[in-house]
């Protein structure tokens, strides 16, 4: 039980003033600006946007500055801000096939239309600390090559042509929205996608890893991973037509997984899918693996009791704002609760001691 | 919907919405007299994706959007929805939308053509960097005994 308490206002004010001073750090070191965070800590900004579920790099950078780099605290700030915004509309579904790709790789086909484009990746770096970054260096420049402008079709589309992979039937039903209605189980795949894409990266990563280690194994190949910008088109009510009002960066992962088949259907590969705001490939791959593991019932697979197969477990625990809120509330005053426990344990002890003495 | 989707208007509304706010202000600093029908307002649009890229829609997350509607002295109405939270960006885009509907040739030249060229350059610049990271596979020659 939580009982309201008063007092400590002065202590709280002073604690917040000290927090502000600590946030600033050593005043002889230049203050970090929000644009610096936005431009140079971009992957942190992306994570805060994805888990905060709001695409706005400036706000995410501000949240990171305010939270002193505590990304879950920053996500919390963004979620709180998000609730103050009126919802104007839902966009038309983004067309990831038309993405202007910075990166596009496939682990299933070496040669494919559009090619393997590495983009600005950490892959193939040696993970050795680069001490040159401690000094102010020259402005780095990326080499260029003529862009072919050729289409970069989805790899799963190539497999679908031969009927080798399950089709993903296109519908236009309004998806359920976690931010409007509380989570109800069982959740359909659209709702699970929303929950996973805003879920905690570490939690979703660990669940995905658990499937690779045998807890709900689905034999995933990364059919394709792409990162780039897509236009966001919205039907403007006052105009009666759609306008592309902005562009966002997304990471999309499609996995090609173990097949299913039946007496009537020949075997086919199955799919896992992950789409995440910003450049966040670890998260997108993780979402795809967990998405696929959660589809066991629909695909006629066995429930082996693996955590990643249990949608109640996954969806109830993947949100780090909910998790941290409940976890951290136990540090708030529980004086009355604890007094009751103290009285109980004193009584039990005195009874036990009295019994032993008899 | 009685109105025919106006392709040119769709195009300029999009160009104005996606333009960097500071650049737009530089290209078109002085707004003609106008009244605000709907004051610039910040809100959110829920961005949807499709499962598997092609399947059922789902809610991916929101993005910040600012919208505004204005009317010029001659009665021409303009609207804008722009990404982000810059109210002056939305208002400037709405005024330009009204002007362009009246066939303002100078706004076309002074703003749209410049923005379109710059957006094209920015896109190409990224695409050429991506192209430089495209893998050229070569097959190792196998030793034959």
The ipTM assigned to this model is 0.93
pLDDT in tens, chain B (145 residues): 444 557 899 999 999 999 999 999 999 999 999 999 999 999 999 999 999 999 999 999 999 999 999 999 999 999 999 999 999 999 999 999 999 999 887 778 789 999 999 999 999 999 999 999 999 887 666 666 5
- Which residues make beta-bridge pairs with A222? A255
Contact present, B16 and B97 (Cβ < 8 Å): yes
Q: Do the Cβ atoms of A143 and B129 come within 8 Å?
A: yes
For residue A87, the SS3 value is strand
Distance CA A3, CA A79 (A): 26
Binned at pLDDT 50, 70 and 90, residue A2 comes out as low
Q: Is A214 left (phi over 0), alpha (psi -120 to 50) or beta?
A: left
- Inspect the interface and report whether the beta carbons of B44 and A245 lie closer than 8 Å: no
A100 CA to chain B: closest CA distance, Å? 8
Q: How far apart are CA A205 and CA A198, in angstroms?
A: 13
Percent of chain A residues topping a pLDDT of 70:
99
CA separation for the pair A258, A175 (Å, rounded): 27
Read off the pLDDT of each residue in A164-170 and give the average, rounded to a whole number: 89
Full-model pTM: 0.93
| Residue A165 DSSP class | B
Question: Cβ contact (<8 Å) for A234 and B82?
Answer: no
What's residue A140's pLDDT? Answer: 92
> Does position A120 have pLDDT exceeding 90, yes or no?
yes
CA distance B145 to chain A (A): 28
Cβ-based contacts of A59 with chain B (< 8 Å):
64, 85
Domain residue spans of chain A: 9-82, 96-121+152-167+175-318, 328-357
**Cα separation, A199 vs A166, whole angstroms:** 26
- Contact yes or no for A271/B69 (Cβ under 8 A): no
Q: How confident is the model at residue A4 (pLDDT cuts 50, 70, 90)?
A: low
B66 contact residues in A (CB cutoff 8 A): none
Which of B3, B83, B126 is nearest residue A246 as measured by Cβ atoms?
B83
Window 88-117 of B, Cβ < 8 Å to A: none
Instruction: Give the list of residues 6+ apart from residue A145 with CB closer than 8 angstroms, or none.
Output: B128, B131, B132, B134
Checking A303-306 for CB contacts under 8 A at 24+ apart, the result is A304/A215, A304/A216, A306/A210, A306/A211, A306/A215, A306/A216
Domain boundaries, chain B: 12-38+67-120
For chain B, say whether A79 makes contact (Cβ under 8 Å).
no
pLDDT at residue A336 in the model: 87
On whether the CB atoms of residues B69 and B106 are closer than 8 A, the answer is no
Q: Rounded to the nearest 5°, which phi and psi values hold at A327?
A: -65, -45
Specify whether the CB–CB gap between A166 and B54 falls below 8 A.
Answer: no
**How many whole angstroms separate alpha carbon B128 and alpha carbon B4?**
37
Q: Which residues of B touch A194 (CB under 8 A)?
A: 58-60
Give contacts of A111 with chain B, Cβ < 8 Å.
137
């Amino acid at each position: 039980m939580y009982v309201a308490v008063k007092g400590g206002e002065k202590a709280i004010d002073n604690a917040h003033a000290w927090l502000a001073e600590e946030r600033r750090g050593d005043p002889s070191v230049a203050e970090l600006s929000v644009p610096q965070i936005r431009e140079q800590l971009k992957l942190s900004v992306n994570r805060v946007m994805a888990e905060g579920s709001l695409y706005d790099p400036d706000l995410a950078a501000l949240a990171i500055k305010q939270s002193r780099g505590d990304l879950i605290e920053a996500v919390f700030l963004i979620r709180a801000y998000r609730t103050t915004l009126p919802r104007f509309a839902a966009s038309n579904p983004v067309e990831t096939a038309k993405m202007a790709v910075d990166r596009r790789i496939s682990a299933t086909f070496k040669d494919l239309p559009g090619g393997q484009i590495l983009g600005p990746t950490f892959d193939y770096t040696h993970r050795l600390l680069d001490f040159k970054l401690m000094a102010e260096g020259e402005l780095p420049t990326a080499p260029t090559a003529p862009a072919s402008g050729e289409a970069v079709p989805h790899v799963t589309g190539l497999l679908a042509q031969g009927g080798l992979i399950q089709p993903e039937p296109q519908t236009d039903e309004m998806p359920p929205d976690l931010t409007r209605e509380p989570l109800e189980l069982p959740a359909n795949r659209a709702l699970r996608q929303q929950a996973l894409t805003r879920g905690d990266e570490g939690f979703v990563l660990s669940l995905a890893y658990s499937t690779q280690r045998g807890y709900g194994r689905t034999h995933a190949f990364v059919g394709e991973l792409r990162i780039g910008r897509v236009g966001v088109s919205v039907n403007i009510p006052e105009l009666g037509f759609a306008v592309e009002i902005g562009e966002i960066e997304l990471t999309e992962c499609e996995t090609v997984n173990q097949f299913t088949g039946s007496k009537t259907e020949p075997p086919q590969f199955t799919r896992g899918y992950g789409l995440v705001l910003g450049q966040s490939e670890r998260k997108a791959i993780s979402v795809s693996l967990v998405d696929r593991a959660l589809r066991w019932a629909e695909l006629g697979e066995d429930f082996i009791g693996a955590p990643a197969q249990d949608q109640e477990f996954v969806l109830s625990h993947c949100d780090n704002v909910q998790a941290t809120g409940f976890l951290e509330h136990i540090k708030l005053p529980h004086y009355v609760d604890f007094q009751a426990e103290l009285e109980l344990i004193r009584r039990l002890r005195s009874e036990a001691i009295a019994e032993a003495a008899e | 919907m009685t109105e025919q989707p106006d392709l040119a208007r769709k195009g300029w509304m999009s160009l104005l919405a996606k333009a960097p706010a500071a650049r737009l202000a530089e290209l078109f600093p002085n707004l003609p007299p106008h009244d605000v029908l709907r004051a610039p307002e910040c809100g959110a649009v829920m961005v949807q994706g499709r499962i598997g890229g092609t399947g059922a829609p789902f809610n991916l997350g929101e993005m910040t959007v600012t919208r505004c509607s204005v009317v010029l002295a001659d009665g021409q109405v303009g609207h804008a929805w722009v990404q982000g939270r810059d109210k002056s960006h939305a208002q400037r885009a709405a005024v330009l939308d009204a002007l362009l509907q009246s066939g303002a040739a100078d706004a076309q030249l002074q703003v749209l053509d410049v923005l379109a060229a710059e957006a094209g350059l920015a896109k190409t610049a990224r695409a050429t960097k991506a192209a430089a990271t495209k893998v050229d596979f070569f097959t190792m020659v196998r030793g034959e005994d």
